[in-house]
Amino acid sequence: MNDSWGNICRPRQTQSNLNWRTDVLPVADKKLVVGNRRSYGDVCINDGGAIIDATGLNRFISFDRSTGIVRCEAGVTLWQVAKFAVPLGWFLPVTPGTGFVTVAGAVANDVHGKNHHVAGSFGCFVKKLQLRRSNGDELVCSETENTELFAATIGGLGLTGFISWVEFALKPIQHSMMAVDSVSYNSYEEFLALSSESEKTHEYCVSWIDCLDKSGRGVFFRGKHAEEGGLDADLEAAKRSVPALVGAGFPLVNQLSVYLFNATYMRAHAGNRQYTETIAKFFYPLDSLLNWNRIYGRKGFYQFQCVVPLENAEVLKEVFACISAANQGSFLSVLKTMGSIASPALLSFCRPGVTLAIDFPNRGKKTMQLLSTLEDLVMHAGGAIYPAKDATMSAATFEKSFPKLAEYIQYVDPAFTSSFWQRVNAK
């Protein structure tokens, strides 16, 4: 795979692979090390330059069973960590909605999960990492060594150099099943009330929203690690995959299929349900079908993820109205709140507020216009757009979203770049 998860960039770039931590980086002066390319837009793309794939660095280096501190190579995936750690009574402190992300990818985008309100972002758990710069320097970075580079590399979009290993803290768990509670709601106000109430009692909170319905209806999911069942839950990754032929053809996502899916999903989750499910189902429901991004056909899709401060949370109603009027949404629309635990990163997207993530099939100009309208609404409300998902934000929006950008820029490795960086740093 050459493109990012959204399949919209079509890059012309050379590619090489790293298999050992001591492998020499290509001498190219426009390089970017990447992981599993689960970023939707262009942070893991380097049009006109060189991509260095680090997924071959997939080994564990050390694990302290008494503290849960694990050190592993950059390309180890979160699935690998979960499979290794859960039977021993440990779990990822923060995990995004797919386990196919690499540890270095999780650092470089400072990813967040359903527990942001109580845990913060992935970067909050990173103890140390090793960074190789293009001048040959190999530096261990932490809160006590090379501290500025540490803060610039977490959430640093892969531009401070090659991360060869990461050491981070896992969290202890007693049981591997999840106790889940789902509650359907009929308005955005109900969502906000459910969030504020559930965050006091539940470690994990997330909500699916019907993007075609102006009222803001959806289903709220809140979960905890179960209090019984032991540590032997099924952690198998998916075996089914969407065929390549689907990805090369017309999109399966259209107004009718989204409407039918959303109506069925709302009906299936009506009211309040309590159940237990595996870690895999709770955290990684989309991983049960490999290559699901192919359902968007050969033109691919965009994801828009923003965060807006709670005091301006009302603006998301305007966002929903625009999406509904444009009839462009998809099944995948996620709404949740973020808490106030600060990340050590200079450029973290994570901040207190409400975050919305939504997929849009690529319909050319119409989709670009919609994305631009949404961007304006979010920026007027003092919000920010998530680089890991983005392929369209302007340089001005990027600058406004990240107040410590000027400080960060000092630590960018001069031989590293990405399509994203070329777009947002164009002065």
Q: Which residues bind ligand FAD (CB under 6 A)?
A: 5, 32-39, 43-44, 54, 74, 96-98, 101-102, 104-106, 108-109, 111-113, 157-158, 162-163, 286, 388
**Beta carbon of residue 202, minimum distance to ligand FAD (angstroms, whole number):** 17
Q: Residue written as tokens 């960590």? A: 81
**Beta carbon of residue 200, minimum distance to ligand FAD (angstroms, whole number):** 22
Q: Using an 8 Å Cβ cutoff, are 240 and 212 in contact? A: no
**Beta carbon of residue 155, minimum distance to ligand FAD (angstroms, whole number):** 10
Nearer to ligand FAD, 189 or 347 (CB): 347
SS3 (DSSP) at 17 = strand
Nearer to ligand FAD, 19 or 67 (CB): 19
Closest by CA position to 71, among listed 127, 131, 121: 127
Instruction: Report, in this order, helix, strand and coil percent for the chain, each rounded to 5.
Output: 30, 25, 45
**Beta carbon of residue 265, minimum distance to ligand FAD (angstroms, whole number):** 17
**Nearest residue to ligand FAD, using CB?**
158
Nearer to ligand FAD, 240 or 365 (CB): 240
Nearer to ligand FAD, 251 or 387 (CB): 387
**Beta carbon of residue 345, minimum distance to ligand FAD (angstroms, whole number):** 12
Tell me how crowded residue 335 is: count the other CB atoms within 10 A of its CB.
23
Nearer to ligand FAD, 66 or 167 (CB): 167
334: left (phi over 0), alpha (psi -120 to 50) or beta: beta
**Beta carbon of residue 283, minimum distance to ligand FAD (angstroms, whole number):** 9
Nearer to ligand FAD, 214 or 281 (CB): 281
**Beta carbon of residue 338, minimum distance to ligand FAD (angstroms, whole number):** 10
Nearer to ligand FAD, 38 or 128 (CB): 38
**Beta carbon of residue 426, minimum distance to ligand FAD (angstroms, whole number):** 17
Nearer to ligand FAD, 111 or 126 (CB): 111
C-alpha to C-alpha distance for 81 and 221, rounded to whole angstroms: 24
C-alpha to C-alpha distance for 117 and 413, rounded to whole angstroms: 33
86: left (phi over 0), alpha (psi -120 to 50) or beta: alpha
C-alpha to C-alpha distance for 152 and 160, rounded to whole angstroms: 7
Tell me how crowded residue 174 is: count the other CB atoms within 10 A of its CB.
12
C-alpha to C-alpha distance for 4 and 300, rounded to whole angstroms: 10
Token readout for 275 is 């159940």
- Alpha-carbon dihedral of residues 342, 144, 60, 389, nearest 10 degrees? 30
